[in-house]
Amino acid sequence: MGERAPREAALVARSPIAPAPPATVEQGWEISARRSVARLRLTDATPLAKVLVRAAADGPVARGLEIRFGRAARDADGVLVVGSGPGEWLLLAPPGTAPEIARRVTARADGEFASTFDVTHGRALMRLSGAPASDALAKVCAIDLSDGVTPDGAAVRTSVAKLVTDLVRDDRGGEPSYLLHCERSSGQYLFDALLDAGDEFGVDVDGFVFPGV
Q: Where are the chain's structural domains?
A: 16-47+122-205, 49-118
Topology alike, domains 16-47+122-205 and 49-118: no
- 42-94 pLDDT, tens digit per residue, is 999 999 999 999 999 999 999 999 999 999 999 999 999 999 999 999 999 99
Written out in words, the top-level CATH class of the domain with range 16-47+122-205 is: alpha beta
Phi, psi of 102 (to 5 degrees): -65, -40
- 9-33 pLDDT, tens digit per residue, is 679 999 999 999 999 999 999 999 9
Quick one: which of 184, 193, 164, 180 has its CA closest to 15? 184
Instruction: Show contacts of 164-167: CB within 8 Å, 24+ apart.
Output: 165/190, 166/82, 166/84, 166/90, 167/137, 167/141, 167/143
CATH of region 49-118: 3.30.70.1400
Give the chain's count of helices (H) and strands (E): 4, 14
For residues 15 and 30, the answer to whether their CB atoms sit within 8 Å is yes
- What DSSP string runs through 109-120? -TT---EEEE-T
Q: Is residue 8's pLDDT more than 70?
A: no
pTM above 0.75, yes or no: yes
Tell me the chain's radius of gyration from C-alpha atoms.
Answer: 18
